[in-house]
Amino acid sequence: MVCRYCWLVRNSGGLGAARWAVSAYFLVMGLTAGVWMARVPAAKAQVHLSDGTLGVALFALPVGLVLGAALAERLVDRLGSALLCRVAGVGGCFVSVTPGLAHTLPELMAALFGIGVFGGTLDVSQNNQGVRVEAAYGRPVMTSMHAGYSLGAILGSLAGGALAEANVGLLPSLVAVGALGALIDGIAAPWLLPGKQHAGAQGADVSASQGAKPRVDRRQVRRLVLAVGILGICGLLGEGAAGDWSAVYLKDNLGTSAGFASLGFAAFSVTMTLGRGVGDRLLHRYGVAPVIRACGVLATVGLGAALATPVPGITIVGFTLFGAGLSIVVPQVFAAGGRADPERPGSGLAKVVGLSYVGMTAGPAIIGLVASKVGLHVALVIPLILAAWIAVAAPTLRAPATSDDADPIAPMRSAGIP
């Protein structure tokens, strides 16, 4: 049953506007991130950092993301995700300029930490908005909203590269994208869904019409949050591995040129974006669990093929399949996180997002550490195994309405996870 509020929003045309507004927030987050990643070498030169100290500085960003997600956990159910989106979105655009003002290592770390805090808070709040929009639609739309981030990241990286080629300074580059992002967020802000996601609402706020709230097994909720969060770790670690190590693997292990090596992540990014563009249709037609299981298999086959051959062209194809396989996973992880705790939906989502960030934070470092001991070829087996786990644990992400016939925690239980 769809609540009267959702019915009114849908039939007034406001729901479609809300969907585009959330997509715009994802787009801006990807746009600013893409420009920053393209201008990291400029920041390194401006602050006079070595490779080692740059790694230390960059670590401040994911630390801020984790803390931002923890902050959002405390605020999203209390203040509502629309308000947090507005504050964290525009505020994050302004903070994104600060690395251009940094001239020492502590200053750069403080700037990146601030970007992370705003980014983590925004990610939780915009995903909470996405969960509410998807539930009001009554069909999958979350993945297409996440496509905005992937598209923004591609556009941002291209823009950042063009600015670098034109010898535009770091600060003017960041100011330009920050101002554009703040303008887009400001235009989108009035169309976000107002109010709060009510407890017991799997997006449709049905509990009020059914009388007393259903009893919630808190132990089961904690286990579901853990299970979904582990899938988020798998997805974001895989994305991070492709971003940080695909070019290195092609260049150093297979002996390609630097230009050819960059095609690995480019192909990964394109299929990631395209997969998110068509993912909602697949989910609507076949269901969450079968699609995510197929995605896990596709990602496993793709990365496995990339590692199994010394032929660079086939490796590029492998990373292409790897991107397609991972494309739908994280959006559905976050959607499941928003449903995991019926009593505190925003808190459940924030916990899942925070857990997922562990993969993005620790994954590249773990792969690098293992690579230093046994080689990158062997180290990349880690995301390969995690991609296979996505296929195994896909039922964890099944929506509540279709999960009565299966235990979504069964894969975790069989693996011995309490």
Condensed to tens digits (0 to 9), the pLDDT of residues 214-251 reads 566 778 888 898 999 999 999 999 988 888 788 888 88
Domain shared by 271 and 407, yes or no: yes
Tokens (6 digits) for 195: 């109010």
Answer for the pair 81, 121: CB distance below 8 angstroms, yes or no: no
Predicted confidence at residue 213, as pLDDT, reads 52
CA dihedral in degrees (159, 160, 164, 169; nearest 10)? 110
Predicted confidence at residue 214, as pLDDT, reads 56
pLDDT exceeds cutoff 80 at 111: yes
Contacts 24+ apart (CB under 8 A), 404-413: 406/289, 408/224, 408/227, 409/220, 409/223, 409/224, 409/227, 411/227, 412/223, 412/226, 412/227, 412/230
Residue 153 in any domain: the answer is yes
Residue 192 in any domain: the answer is yes
Predicted confidence at residue 400, as pLDDT, reads 56
Instruction: Calculate the average pLDDT of the chain.
Output: 84
d(CA 7, CA 195): 15
Domain shared by 265 and 327, yes or no: yes
Domain shared by 241 and 376, yes or no: yes
The domain boundary residue, chosen from 142, 164, 198: 198
pLDDT exceeds cutoff 50 at 86: yes
Domain shared by 108 and 223, yes or no: no
pLDDT exceeds cutoff 70 at 266: yes
At 192, is the pLDDT very low, low, confident or very high (cuts 50, 70, 90)? very high
* The amino acid at 181: G
**Which of residues 208 and 254 earns the better pLDDT score?**
254
Residue 229 in any domain: the answer is yes
Domain shared by 361 and 292, yes or no: yes
Q: What is the distance between the terminal CA atoms of the chain, rounded to a whole angstrom?
A: 34
Tokens (6 digits) for 60: 């401040």
SS3 readout for 143-199: HHHHHHHHHHHHHHHHHHHHHHHCCCCHHHHHHHHHHHHHHHHHHHHHHCCCCCCCC
Domain shared by 169 and 303, yes or no: no
Residue 418 in any domain: the answer is no
User: Between vectors from CA 136 to CA 135 and to CA 140, what angle results, nearest 5°?
Assistant: 50
Answer for the pair 221, 340: CB distance below 8 angstroms, yes or no: yes
The domain boundary residue, chosen from 198, 229, 248: 198
Residue 406 in any domain: the answer is yes
User: Which residues does 200 contact at the CB level (< 8 Å), separation at least 6?
Assistant: 206, 207, 213, 214, 342, 343
d(CA 8, CA 12): 6
Alpha helices in 39-104 (DSSP H): 40-47, 51-79, 81-95
CA of residue 375 relative to chain centroid, distance: 28
Domain boundaries, position 108:
12-198
CA dihedral in degrees (179, 20, 152, 197; nearest 10)? 90
Predicted confidence at residue 408, as pLDDT, reads 44
Domain shared by 93 and 162, yes or no: yes
At residue 300, φ and ψ (nearest 5 deg) are: -65, -45
Domain shared by 252 and 386, yes or no: yes
**Which of residues 378 and 213 earns the better pLDDT score?**
378
Predicted confidence at residue 409, as pLDDT, reads 43
Domain shared by 226 and 316, yes or no: yes
User: Which residues does 35 contact at the CB level (< 8 Å), separation at least 6?
Assistant: 156, 157, 159, 160, 163, 173, 174, 177
Tokens (6 digits) for 393: 């644990």
What's the whole-model pTM score? 0.81
The domain boundary residue, chosen from 142, 163, 198: 198
Domain shared by 188 and 230, yes or no: no
Residue 403 to residues 30, 150, 287, 397, 410, Cα–Cα distance (Å): 33, 30, 11, 9, 12
Domain shared by 311 and 168, yes or no: no
Predicted confidence at residue 34, as pLDDT, reads 87
**Which of residues 345 and 75 earns the better pLDDT score?**
75
Tell me how many domains the chain contains.
2
Predicted confidence at residue 410, as pLDDT, reads 46
pLDDT in tens, 323-343: 999 999 999 999 998 888 877
d(CA 295, CA 289): 10
Residue 259 in any domain: the answer is yes
* Residue (of 142, 187, 173, 238) closest to 31 by Cα position: 173
Residue 370 in any domain: the answer is yes
Residue 417 in any domain: the answer is no
Domain shared by 354 and 312, yes or no: yes
**Which of residues 152 and 209 earns the better pLDDT score?**
152
51-55, 64-68, 291-295, 387-391: segment of lowest average pLDDT: 51-55
**CATH for 58:** 1.20.1250.20
Question: How many of the other CB atoms lie within 10 Å of CB of 46?
Answer: 18
Tokens (6 digits) for 296: 């896990």
At residue 399, φ and ψ (nearest 5 deg) are: -65, 150
d(CA 372, CA 323): 25
At 196, is the pLDDT very low, low, confident or very high (cuts 50, 70, 90)? low
Question: How many of the other CB atoms lie within 10 Å of CB of 241?
Answer: 27
Answer for the pair 376, 315: CB distance below 8 angstroms, yes or no: no
